[in-house]
Every structure is written in C-alpha cells, then in structure tokens.
C-alpha cells in the first residue's frame, strides 16, 4: 500500500486529538463543581468525522475530479490536467509518449497532485501490452493458462508488477476475467484465460494476489461479461446473452473474487434481462446495482471501486452520448470512476458534473462515497 502523505497524516492526527475528548490543560481529579466528563464518541462518529476531514480538503469541483481518469499524451499534458483540475487518475495508453515512463516523469506528475494520483495502464500481456518494450513481453492470458500453473503465473506476475511499479504505474486495468471460447484473434479471444469459469477465476486470483503483494491496484473486466458478446464495443453496440445465461459462467469470477481487493471495470454491453434497451451496462443503474448489491447472481455486496470502460473512444458509447453526458450518466448510475482517453474535455465534463450536483441529479452524498472509495483503493487512510 502506498504511504499516506505526511501532511494528511498531520491533519488526521489533529482530528484524533479533537475526537478524543481529552483536555491537555487540566490536571488532577475533577472537583465537585466540574461538569461530568462527556462520553467518548462512538467509533462510527470518529470515522464520520475523519472522513469529513479528508473530504474537506477538496473543493466541490475537485471532489468530482477525483472520480475521473483521463488519458494523457505526455508528461506536460499530464501535469497540466493534474495541477489545474486535480483529476484522480491519468491513463497511459499506446498514444502516450514512452518517455513519460521510461525517464521517470510520472513522479514529477504525481507531485502536482493534492492526494496520491493513480497512474493507470492496461497491461494484460499478449496483444494488449503497452510497455513490453520497457518490461519485456508476456504471453496472452489463454497461452498463460495453457503453459503455466496458476502458481507459476503468480510468480511471473510478481516480477512484472515490480517492473510496472518502478515505472511509476499504480493501477493496471487487468486481469481480463471474461469467460470465452472465441478464436484467439476475436475481440476477447486469447485475452481470456479460458472458457472454463473456474480456470479464469484461479488465474485471475493469482494475478490479483501478486498485484496486492507489490502494492499495485488491479481491475477485473469487463462486467458483467464480454466473453460471448456479439461484437467489438470499439466499433459498435455489443449484445451479450441474457443475464440468466451469464450467471453460471461469465459472472462466476466476480462472485468468487469480489473480496480480493480488485476493482471492477464495467463494459459497454447491452445485456437482455438487465440493461434498458439502448443503455449499455457502463451507464446502467441496474448493472451498477447488480454489482454493488450482489443480489441476482449469488454474490456478496461489492464495496470496491467501479470503473467504466473508455467512454470516448468506443462507438458502443460515443454513438449514443457525448463525453460529458456519458461521464455524468455513468456516475449517476453508480460508477465511482469514469475513464476516457484524452484531456481536452476535462473542464467541460467538470462544468456539467457541477451542474448535475447543483440540480440534485448527482447527489453530493454519492460523490462523497465514491471519493472515499477511491481513497481506500489508492491506499489513503481516512481513519483516525
């Protein structure tokens, strides 16, 4: 876990003192004229007060910005958007100058953030590998499951996770837990460990365990299951089998790994029996509720972070909504963090989100809850 900044520790320490009920100016036993000491605050009250201290360091706009992760083209682009808007995360993609990671510029960008910044990437191995030229190649998920035991995969992931951490990465949008029998070159294809949900779960668990050990965040994707989808959400809408058919197979990894510490990424998927027509899962309140509550597919409630898939570069969403409306719809539906791949619209998105909070469309209490989930996921303690 990443260390809490000293300044924040100092602030939280002051709250502990304030919450303790003690008085350093008095000594000895109380006299008969002194008021009886008040009962100490409950743990719930202390926690609430400490959360409030963490939230109070942000303006309302900055709290909303903590719920955004945006793709950056360079260190300068990243530092500008972090310094000016205090976004919660940046995304390093194939479009990002490799010098950003190769020369340690990520640390310079992190220094511009008020609280620890997520530096994210989607480094799955195989054909989805952004930094194989920096840390070496890795086989696809399918090839991994065919050639390694899950324990061997855990050990290999430890090595790669340490290399990612050395580059300044803090979160990897992996593992892909889609259950699929598609051909290798299909949209999911060899990105899936197997068409057997137990195999997918075992290898995903090994991946997440290694990432946890190194102190990096992991993200399971693409909820509720892209493995048997009708196409590629980069190019258009994707329809999955009905929800009733996903429960036994596609949703099994999420059911088994919900308490693993990994976050979950929701895909732009039309799911009969779950999503409203023309409202993909990434902006669907019903989908977020299914994941959050666990009711409907036999899972425990999920209180981890919910990310969206990319909201600006995939036609399954861009053919329906502009970026500001898509981000608003995702957060209103219950996502904790909206992802997209450039910084140009950040101010416009935040303007619209501020209006949504003012109007009550996006409740401020929901924003606060997501900010606190993001803090926990980043390893920031908001407890006294």
**C-beta separation of 108 from 91 below 8 A:** no
SS3 117: coil
Query: Other C-beta atoms within 10 Å of 22: how many?
Result: 11
Residue 176 a catalytic site member: no
Backbone angles phi, psi at 238, to 5 degrees: -125, 130
**Cα–Cα separations (whole angstroms), residue 355 to 224, 283, 328, 347:** 30, 18, 10, 13
Angle 156-161-167 from CA coordinates, rounded to 5°? 135
How far apart are alpha carbons 57 and 11 in whole angstroms?
10
Q: Is 309 marked active-site? A: yes
Which residues partner with 263 through β-bridges? 219
**Which of 234, 322, 351, 368 is the catalytic position?**
234
Strand intervals (E) in 283-372: 306-308, 338-340
Among the residues of 86-228, which ranges form H helices? 99-102, 105-110, 132-135, 141-147, 150-167, 197-214
Query: Whats the size of the chain, residue-wise?
Result: 384
Residue of 270, 309, 310, 336 marked catalytic: 309
Torsion angle, alpha carbons of 94, 100, 104, 106, to 10: -90
CB-CB contact of 336 with 374 (8 Å): yes
Active site positions, annotated: 234, 309
């Amino acid at each position: 876990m990443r260390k809490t900044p000293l300044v924040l520790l100092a602030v939280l320490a002051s709250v502990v003192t304030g919450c303790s009920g003690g008085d350093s100016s008095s000594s000895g036993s109380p006299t008969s004229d002194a008021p009886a000491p008040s009962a100490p605050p409950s743990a719930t009250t202390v926690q609430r007060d400490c959360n409030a201290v963490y939230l109070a360091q942000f303006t309302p706009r900055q709290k909303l910005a903590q719920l955004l992760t945006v793709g950056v083209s360079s260190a300068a682009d990243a530092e500008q958007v972090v310094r000016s808007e205090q976004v919660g995360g940046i995304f390093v993609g194939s479009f990002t100058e490799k010098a950003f990671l190769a020369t340690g510029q990520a640390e310079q960008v992190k220094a511009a953030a008020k609280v620890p910044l997520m530096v994210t990437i989607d480094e799955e191995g195989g054909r989805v590998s952004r930094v194989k030229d920096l840390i070496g190649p890795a086989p696809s998920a399918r090839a991994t499951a065919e050639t390694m035991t899950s324990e061997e995969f855990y050990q290999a992931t430890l090595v790669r996770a340490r290399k990612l951490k050395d580059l300044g990465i803090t979160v990897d949008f992996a593992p892909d837990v889609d259950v699929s029998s598609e051909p290798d070159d299909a949209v999911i294809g060899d990105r899936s460990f197997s068409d057997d949900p137990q195999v997918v779960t075992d290898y995903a668990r090994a991946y997440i365990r290694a990432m946890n050990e190194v102190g990096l965040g992991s993200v399971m994707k693409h909820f509720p299951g892209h493995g048997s989808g009708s196409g590629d959400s980069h190019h258009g809408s994707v329809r999955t089998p009905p929800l009733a058919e996903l429960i036994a197979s596609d949703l099994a990894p999420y059911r088994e790994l919900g308490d693993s510490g990994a976050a979950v990424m929701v895909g732009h998927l039309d799911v009969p029996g779950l999503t409203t027509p023309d409202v993909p899962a990434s902006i669907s309140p019903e989908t977020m509720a299914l994941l959050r509550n666990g009711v409907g597919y036999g899972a425990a409630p999920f209180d981890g972070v919910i990310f969206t898939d990319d909201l600006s570069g995939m036609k399954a969403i861009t053919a329906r909504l502009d970026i500001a409306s898509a981000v608003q719809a995702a957060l209103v539906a219950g996502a904790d963090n909206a992802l997209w791949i450039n910084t140009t619209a950040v101010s416009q998105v935040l303007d619209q989100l501020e209006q949504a909070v003012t109007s009550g469309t996006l409740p401020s209490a929901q924003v606060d809850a997501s900010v606190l989930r993001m803090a926990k996921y980043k390893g920031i303690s908001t407890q006294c």
